[in-house]
Amino acid sequence: MQFWEDVDDGLKDIEQYYRSEKNMDIDRIYAFAKSAQKISPPPKPQAPGHEPSEEHVDGLTAQPFWEVSAGLASSEALLCFPWASALEEQSYIIIDEFLGKLQGENLEAGKVNNEEKNNLFSGDSAWQNEVMGKGWSAFRLQRLGEWNVQNCKEFPKTYELLKSLNIPLAVRGVCFARQGANSGVAPHTDGRNFILTAHLGLKVPEGCWIKVGEEERGWEEGKLTILDTSFSHSTGNPTSYDRHVLIIDFWHPELTEAERAALEFVYSLRNKFESGKVPFRKPRSIEQEGQGLAGFFSMFSTGGS
């Protein structure tokens, strides 16, 4: 109750600024808050395999893959992802640094020992490994909007390049991801339709695949594959070698500046609540004398406002 009251207070401040300074509204983020609280009906799938969650922003294009390479959709890609071509052109910086790091730890690129105790990916959370499968692990540069300073020091060139490109990074993060030999990730959905995910191929054995919705593709080294993880998606590595990609989560290009600011506020506040950085107080909806639980039910009927 306190969290959603604090969200409402913050959204009002953001709305006031963007309406007065840039004539932008955040009506869709207010609707998002109602959906997240399950006050409004759950979102409906927009295509086969689409499985959006209650954390949903209305009106955003939903498609399994987004084109980033030259071709019929190149002008659209430039508009949506102005940073993508520069990242691909300089991908050798990331690839060289990443493979050099693996070799520096006496791990031959593409033949990572899954039992190695001190390798690059040994520190990933057991919970995440359980969700994604035992063959998947990550080395995180950014998580929940915060750069991991120590990890970024291991990859200074990658960090500086990513920072220089002004990628609209979203709340989930940036990580190097390893898919072990003869393993895969079972079909699942991340639910949030307002975040897209880019995979930059680093070391990709032939035969590796990713399926999003009803469409299956592979990765190319030095190239981006952009997908919407609110679709059911799965991966496979049927080879004898490990597959490595750099994963970058970023805001859906159809969000406005005001909407991105509002979502950043909501998830930053959520992180502070979950980490115990926000002192608890009695919610205003039950604070007034005599209200009791009436305030609790009132909050849900009014959307916390």
Average of pLDDT values for 40-69? 94
Average of pLDDT values for 156-161? 97
Residue position matching structure tokens 């990074």: 169
pLDDT at 108: 46
Q: Please state, in angstroms and rounded to a whole number, the distance separating the CA atoms of residues 26 and 33.
A: 11
Distance of CA 136 to CAs 29, 32, 75, 128, Å?
33, 31, 34, 9
* DSSP string over 11-80: HHHHHHHHHHHH----HHHHHHHHHHTT-SPPPPP-STTB---SS--TT----SEE--SSSTTHHHHHHH
Q: What is the pLDDT of residues 220-265, one digit of tens each?
A: 999 999 999 999 999 999 999 999 999 999 999 999 999 999 999 9
pLDDT at 293: 44
Q: Above 50 in pLDDT, residue 73? A: no
In this structure, are residues 136 and 180 in contact, taking their beta carbons and an 8 Å threshold? yes
Q: Above 60 in pLDDT, residue 290? A: no
Q: Above 50 in pLDDT, residue 304? A: no
- Written as six digits, the tokens of 126 are 């057991």
**pTM metric for this prediction:** 0.85
With cut-offs at 50, 70 and 90, classify the pLDDT of residue 157: very high
Q: Please state, in angstroms and rounded to a whole number, the distance separating the CA atoms of residues 39 and 31.
A: 9
If one compares 123 and 180, the residue with the highest pLDDT of the two is 180
Q: Which residues, including other chains, have CB under 8 Å from residue 183's CB and lie 6 or more apart? A: 133, 134, 135, 136, 237
Q: Which residues, including other chains, have CB under 8 Å from residue 161's CB and lie 6 or more apart? A: 87, 90, 93, 94
User: What torsion, rounded to 10 degrees, do the Cα atoms 266, 268, 273, 274 define?
Assistant: 110
Name the CATH topology of 65-251. Answer: Jelly Rolls (2.60.120)
Q: What is the pLDDT of residues 80-113, one digit of tens each?
A: 899 999 999 999 999 999 999 988 764 444 444 4
- CATH 2.60.120.330: which residues of the chain? 65-251
Average of pLDDT values for 161-178? 93
pLDDT at 284: 84
pLDDT > 90: percent of the chain = 69
Q: What is the pLDDT of residues 109-154, one digit of tens each?
A: 444 444 444 467 765 555 565 666 678 889 999 987 789 999 999 9
pLDDT at 127: 53
pLDDT at 189: 93
With cut-offs at 50, 70 and 90, classify the pLDDT of residue 217: very high
pLDDT at 104: 74
If one compares 135 and 49, the residue with the highest pLDDT of the two is 49
